[in-house]
Amino acid sequence: MLDHRLDACAGGFLQLEHVYKGYREGERQRSVLVDLCAHAKKGEFIAIVGKSGSGKTTLLNLIGGIDRTDAGRITLNGIEITGGSDDQRTLYRRRHIGFVFQFFNLFPTMTIWENLTIPLELNGQFDQDGVERAGELLAEIGLADRKQAYPDQLSGGEQQRVAIARAVVHQPLLVLADEPTGNLDDDNGKIILALLDRLTRKAGNNLVMVTHSLEAAQFADRVYTLVEGKLEPIKD
């Protein structure tokens, strides 16, 4: 069962406690995350820096409830993410998590407005308040006049702005960003990072971003590097 009791031992709103994750490769067990510990206070922006293959995406998948830990536990606002059935973790993701990906992941046959409001429909929030919130977000990202456009009619930077708005429109507890500037040039990357930072802080969301870029990580309150399956603080 997903545990909704607040853990008295938890050090923060988001808590990773002795997390281990590995995979079988033939006869060999490969450890990806080893005795990993970290925490974040409510509203904090955490960046995790690591090279390709270091386990950054694996870690996001565990925090987002897409995958399960092999040992240890992860809690968010007292909800134990590491427990529960697949259906329970799906509901947890739908309600409490917003995702921003490197490649935007907008639905090409749906308009910008339809893409933006998917989380509202899934969570039963497509009411007056939700529609007003979506409209305000479109205006804030500078695309209020493009709501009936399709993704392929927007630039890469514009598509990522929509993806960020979609990640926060349903007011999740946590936004997870996986290399959100990896498919953009430097100028657009800086714009996207500033927008991601502003919208998540404005909504009071926690944000965990994984990136290979130390420059991108400087927007964060707390920065870790992921090396040999463990997190080491760079900026704490």
Whole-model pTM over 0.75: yes
CA 116-65-47 angle, 5° bins: 75
pLDDT of residue 1: 34
pLDDT of residue 10: 47
CA atoms of 26 and 95, how far apart (whole Å): 37
pLDDT of residue 119: 95
pLDDT of residue 236: 65
Side chain identity at 114, as an amino acid letter? Answer: E
Question: Is the per-residue pLDDT at 170 higher than 90?
Answer: yes
Sorting pLDDT into bands at 50, 70 and 90, what band is 24?
confident
Tally DSSP H helices, then E strands, for the chain.
Answer: 7, 10
Rama region for 35: left / alpha / beta (φ>0; ψ in -120 to 50; rest): left
SS3 at position 222: strand
Q: Average the pLDDT over 67-72 and give the result.
A: 92
Question: Is the per-residue pLDDT at 218 higher than 90?
Answer: no
Residue 121 C-beta-side C-alpha neighbours within 13 Å: 6
Q: Average the pLDDT over 169-195 and give the result.
A: 89
* Structural domains present in the chain: 41-66+85-235 (3.40.50.300)
pLDDT of residue 115: 97
* Average pLDDT value for the chain: 88
